[in-house]
Amino acid sequence: MRMCCRSVRVSTVLGHSRCLSLAPEPQHAAAMPGLLLGDEFPNFDANTTIGKIQFHEFLGDSWGILFSHPKDFTPVCTTELARAAKLSPEFEKRGVKMIALSVDSVEDHHGWSKDVMAYGGCTGPALPFPIIADDKRELSVKLGMLDPDEIDKDGLPLTARCVFVIGPDKRLKLSILYPATTGRNFDEILRVIDSLQLTAQKKVATPVDWKPGHEVMVIPTLSEAEAATLFPSGVRKADVPSGKNYLRFTKP
Ligand code: BEZ
């Protein structure tokens, strides 16, 4: 386990007492400690580039994706948000409301959005999704998004690259966490959303490297008879040395 730099590095370098209250315990960066898949995602009020929102109201009956980035006007974040902006019609097609977050102000977000849009070759100064201004880091602390290994020039921790996908029932369907130095792959995030939405509807699971249109797998809890009824197009079984019929593929 690495040392918690929020109590060591921050106070040693700057002697900044504000930081100590952000990190009461030594810990790893972890997305929402205590928030498990299937838990209701916390509702919260936030200041954003489209004004004040209440998160659950913002989501409505849609799926949602909340993704954090470490800091405005930073290179990797700029490439990520430009890609997210370019792919926003794909998220919309899937009924997924997008919202980003970083520990900067609304004013910074507006200024940076212009850079992101220009870099991405997108039209207009505004991103097609809001960015939460968590300049007090309250939400980042609540959701466990701060990365103790990434510190800004004032000695304060930055947000890691968290991704939360929330279902229409407001429950957490997926969380992934990347360090600041590794940009995410938004095509992969769309692929995962396709899997989440498919497997929420049908009794299937998606195998390695699955893409929409590929075969899927019949979930292990379905009996042969149930599988035959649910998948009239047929179930293909892969032979394995154990002789057990658990590798069952079908076309959804
Ligand atoms: C970036 O977005 O480029 C970045 C931000 C914080 C630390 C490292 C990279």
**Per-residue pLDDT, 25:** 44
Partners of 99 in the β-ladder: 66
Q: How far is the CA of 20 from the centre of ligand 1 (A)?
A: 23
Q: 66 pLDDT exceeds 50?
A: yes
75 lines ligand 1 (CB under 6 A): yes
Q: 3 pLDDT exceeds 50?
A: no
Burial of 15 (0-12, 13-18, 19+ CB in 10 A): exposed
Burial of 110 (0-12, 13-18, 19+ CB in 10 A): middle
Report the residue among 103, 112, 150 best suited for mutation to probe ligand 1: largest number of ligand atoms under 8 A from its CB.
150
Find the angle CA(47)-CA(106)-CA(83) to the nearest 5 degrees.
Answer: 100
Q: How far is the CA of 181 from the centre of ligand 1 (A)?
A: 6
Cα–Cα distance, 19 to 5 (Å, whole number): 10
Q: What is the mean pLDDT of residues 150-178?
A: 95
Q: Nearest CA to 219 among 237, 196, 246?
A: 246
pLDDT interval class at 155 (50, 70, 90) = very high
The model's pLDDT over 188-239, given as tens digits with 9 standing for 90+, comes to 999 999 999 999 999 999 999 999 999 999 999 999 999 999 999 999 999 9
pLDDT interval class at 22 (50, 70, 90) = very low
Q: 96 pLDDT exceeds 70?
A: yes
Q: Nearest CA to 168 among 193, 187, 143?
A: 193
169 catalytic, yes or no? yes
Q: How far is the CA of 98 from the centre of ligand 1 (A)?
A: 21
Report the residue among 151, 181, 182, 184 best suited for mutation to probe ligand 1: largest number of ligand atoms under 8 A from its CB.
181
**Per-residue pLDDT, 6:** 37
Q: What is the mean pLDDT of the chain?
A: 89
150 lines ligand 1 (CB under 6 A): yes
Q: Nearest CA to 155 among 23, 33, 3, 26?
A: 23
User: Beta 96-102 vs 131-133: how paired, if at all?
Assistant: parallel
pLDDT interval class at 124 (50, 70, 90) = confident
pLDDT interval class at 15 (50, 70, 90) = very low
The 8-class DSSP code of residue 156 comes to P
137 lines ligand 1 (CB under 6 A): no
157 lines ligand 1 (CB under 6 A): no
Q: What is the mean pLDDT of residues 151-173?
A: 96
**Per-residue pLDDT, 26:** 38
**Helices then strands, each counted (H, E), the chain:** 9, 13
pLDDT interval class at 252 (50, 70, 90) = confident
Tokens read off for 56: 């659950």
Cβ(72)–Cβ(103) below 8 Å: no
Compute the CA torsion angle 47, 114, 94, 42 (nearest 10 deg): -20
Q: Which of 77, 104, 149, 162 is catalytic?
A: 77
**Per-residue pLDDT, 17:** 35
77 catalytic, yes or no? yes
Question: Domains of the chain (ranges plus CATH)?
Answer: 35-184 (3.40.30.10), 202-250 (3.30.1020.10)
Please provide the size of the chain in residues.
252
pLDDT interval class at 34 (50, 70, 90) = confident
147 lines ligand 1 (CB under 6 A): no
Most confidently modeled range among 15-29, 31-45, 154-168: 154-168
Partners of 237 in the β-ladder: 248
CA-closest residue to ligand 1 atom 1 = 76
pLDDT interval class at 125 (50, 70, 90) = confident
CA dist 177 to 84, 153, 165, 220, Å? 17, 23, 12, 28
